[in-house]
Amino acid sequence: MTMKSVFVSELDDQVEALLEHYERATRSKTDARIYGELAAECRELARAAAAEDYRTAGVHIESIRRISMDGLSMEDAWLIPVSRIEKLLRVLIVDARCPYCKGYLRSATARQCPECLRDWHDADNVRFLG
Q: For Zn ion, give the closer residue by CB, 85 or 113.
A: 113
With H, G, I as helix, E, B as strand and everything else as coil, classify residue 125.
coil
Among 8, 45, 61, 98, binds Zn ion (CB under 5 A): 98
Closest approach, Cβ 102 to Zn ion, in A, equals 7
Using CB under 5 A, count the residues that bind Zn ion. 7
Pairs from 109-116 (Cβ < 8 Å, separation ≥ 24): 114/55
* Angle 62-65-68 from CA coordinates, rounded to 5°: 145
Closest approach, Cβ 93 to Zn ion, in A, equals 14
Q: Which stretch binds Zn ion (CB under 5 A): 21-29, 44-52, 68-76, 95-103?
A: 95-103
With H, G, I as helix, E, B as strand and everything else as coil, classify residue 70.
coil
Closest approach, Cβ 98 to Zn ion, in A, equals 3
Closest approach, Cβ 123 to Zn ion, in A, equals 15
Task: Please report, as a single letter, which amino acid is at residue 98.
Answer: C
Q: For Zn ion, give the closer residue by CB, 36 or 114.
A: 114
x-or-dash pattern for Zn ion, window 99-118, by CB under 5 A? -xx-x---------x-xx--
> Distance (Å, rounded) from C-alpha 65 to C-alpha 63?
5
Q: How far is CA 101 from CA 14, 32, 112, 118, 124, in A?
A: 30, 41, 11, 9, 18
List residues binding Zn ion (CB under 5 A).
98, 100-101, 103, 113, 115-116
